[in-house]
Structure 1
Amino acid sequence: MASFNDVVSAFTLQVEAIVADAVKATSLLEEANRRFRTAPLNSMLTKGCMERGRDVTWGGAAYDFTSYQAVGLADVADSLLVIEKLVFREKKQSLGDLVRILKSDFKGEEALRQSLATRDPKYGNGNSEADKMFQLVADIFTKAVTRHKNSRGGKYLAGMYSMTCHTAFGKWTGASASGRRAGHGLANGFSPATGADRTGPTALLRSAASLDTSNWGNGGALNLRLGTTFVKGKAGEKLLAGLLRSYLVTQGGMQVQLNVLDAETLRQARSHPDLYPGLLVRIAGYCAYFQDLAPEVQDELIERTIHG
């Protein structure tokens, strides 16, 4: 690959091919549901089915969508930006050498890994260059998904949230040019990569608000973790209200979900779950009791940046 555009083109082809394979598999699943697993109660409660006399699995719904959600968007965007700058702009590393280093999970290259992990810019810090790279990745995924029709004739929609898939999928994903180690969890929703948001909550929200989310038909999830002192008392309430008003109203942000927790509480809850039976946390699109989560999901929550 002689240019960064070649890298982006190859990545785009890969995404399109993988989505096309997923659509084939989903079509088989939808066909199986039509034949063996109709949903009469669901159909009675879904607009369009009674009027058309059709089950939801047969395309009776007035709004008939299938959706795919993206995982690890920030990891991809940060990695592409590293490749663009390190390999093609600065010419400090050849693409072939970088690939070999990543395949070995940075064996013998810890100094380079640390350099990449702390290298700026990264998405989530209010940097327009990094934010535009994130937008590019999201657009590639969205276009690959929305070009398809489902087996009922309805549309495919793209979403940007992960539930807990970002930790599970990370186990099967090799090292990233962003400095992420092989097997480490991926970024959740359209949040920054874990620990990459280092310049405060306003910068994080500014990055998120800069994104064009108009084609994300199935929505997205942005996680923001605040320290307990941030929202303490009347002053804290005013700070939080101002932060959210700026993001959602002034800047036109789409969505944000908050965790107000400190890392030490989470560590104590992991070691002594019986002492924190009611500790509720926001994951990546839903809430759960901390003690019910898999250990790797608990670790990922602890590693998230705490903004204060």
Structure 2
Amino acid sequence: MKVGIAAALMSATIAVYADDLESFKFDSAPTAVQAGAPPSCGFESFKAPAGLTVYAAGAYSGREVPFQIDQSGHQATQFDIAVNSPDKPVALILGAYEPTVWNIGWTQGTNIVAVYVSGYHRQAVAGLDSKIPILNSSYHNKGACGSSYVTAEANEYLNPLSRKLFGQPVTMVYPGDQSGKISVGLPFGADARLVTSSTVSPESLRDKQAPLAGQAGIDVAVKNGSLRAATSADAQAWIDAKVASSPRRDVPPVAGAVATRPSPSVYKAYVILKAFTFPAGLYGGNAVTFYVPKGVPLPSGQPGHSAVYDFNSLRCEGAMCR
């Protein structure tokens, strides 16, 4: 069936996407979210259909996205879940530790009847029609089913949970990784198409009270005047301040000795100009250098691996301090 014909036959709230299992994304897909904690560990008025198959998928985290979805200070991650089960109805058990958006698509003919999602931090489900029930139980929302996440091993809890929710054990576990893409069910044919709802984008799950994560958060802070790029003059000012504050030692010089001096970096370095919150995700290659001038308060949040040179205390905090 051609994509255009299929789309015409479907509700206006459904979109059809060409299948690309190596790089599939649903960046414009809708989001259906059950944010509150379930009152009990079970679906309301849910009856498992005949022939139901239960699949589990997840990992510690998916691929990083440039925002937060909660106040944990952790950068959100995302999994794109592609489901192919045209011959049997499907229930999904999904789980990650980190705050995660689960973006779900399925082949035509696949019938997803229920989704259970869990984790330590906030979990949110995208791409499902609003009629499909979602049970969201995490440590974040103090869910009645507790909190857990899916891995390649140590899944002893999965079958008891699946029997409680769906009356049968899990058929197959699909471990994920930081690519954030998991294919679930039967192999996908070359002409497979993915269907997903199209009401709200996953980016709408972003916690508006938290800055964008990583370099995206830095770029926004520069644009709005909270930061400016640091120069060699800022680094030299730190060196001068540290030298001036160091007590003079009454010791003779040593022949051949080289005096050590602080050498802060100006690579990916920024001066904080006003009250500021560190973006989440400033780890590894996203770590930067911050200079805090006198009179400017220390930022709130977590600097990650970044170096923070504070002219107020003349101290540097962070693994990148020099």
TM-score range, shorter chain: under 0.3
Q: Which has the larger radius of gyration?
A: 2
TM (norm. structure 2) is: 0.22
Structure number with the higher strand fraction is 2
